[in-house]
Amino acid sequence: AAEAVQPVLGIAVDVADPASVEAAFVRMDEELPPVLALVNLAGIASPHTLFELTKELWTRVMDANATGTLLMMQAAARRMIDGGCGGRIVNTSSITAYDGGGTFSKTGYAGAKAAVLGLTRGAARELGPHGITCNAVVPGPIDTDIMGGPLSEDRKAALSGDIPVQRVGRPSEVAALVNFLVGEEAGFINGASYFIDGGKHMV
C-alpha cells in the first residue's frame, strides 16, 4: 500500500520576534492540519568566555535559544488548547546547561540552555492540565556543525574521549528520541529532561 502523503510547509521565521512567530503560525493555520506537536530546534552556539560575553552577545544567544523557545511554545500551546486535543512539546537543551561547556560553547550558551530547562518544567506544570506534555532533550556532542563547522574525524575523537561509548552522537539518534516523545506512548512523560550523550554526563 502506498504511504499517505504528509503536507510539508517551509517558512522562514525569526523565532525571537513575536510578530514573525505569529505570522508563521497563522500561515500554518491556513495551510496545514491543526498543530499537535512542537519541536524547538532553533539555536546558536556561543564560544565566548565569561569576560568576552558582552550584553549584545548575551542577548543574541538568549534570543535564539531561550526567547525563541518561549515564543514558539506560546503560539503552539494556544492552538493546542483551543483545539482541545492536547499536544506534545519537545525543547532542545544541551549537556552544556549541566557541565558549563568548555569544548566549544561556554557560559552564555550554558545559561541559555539552562533557561530552556526551566521553561520546559514551567510549561509542563501549566500545560499538563490541558493534556499537553512538555519535555526536553539534552544532547551531548552530536555530529552536526553547531560547534563551529562540520566535525573532522580528529575532532570527533577528541570530543569522544570522556564519553563511555567512545563516539559522538548521530542526528538520527536525537530524532528517534524526539519521535518517541511526541508520540502517543509518551503521554505520561512530562517535565522530563532526557540526556542523549553516550553517558558523558550521568546524574
DSSP 142: B
Told to judge if 94 belongs to the known catalytic residues of this protein, a careful annotator would answer: yes
Residue 136 backbone dihedrals phi, psi, to 5 degrees: -125, 145
What angle, rounded to 10 degrees, do the helices at 68-83 and 107-127 form?
10
Q: Which of 93, 94, 105, 160 is catalytic?
A: 94
10 Å CB burial of residue 169 (0-12, 13-18, 19+) is buried
Q: Which of 98, 105, 109, 160 is catalytic?
A: 109
Q: Which of 98, 105, 106, 113 is catalytic?
A: 113
- Gap between the Cα atoms of 79 and 20, Å rounded: 16
Alpha-helical (H) ranges within 63-164 are 68-83, 96-99, 107-127, 153-159
**Residue 39 forms beta bridges with which residues?**
90
Phi-psi region of 169 (alpha: psi -120 to 50; beta: other; left: phi over 0): beta
Told to judge if 109 belongs to the known catalytic residues of this protein, a careful annotator would answer: yes
Q: Which residues are catalytic?
A: 94, 109, 113
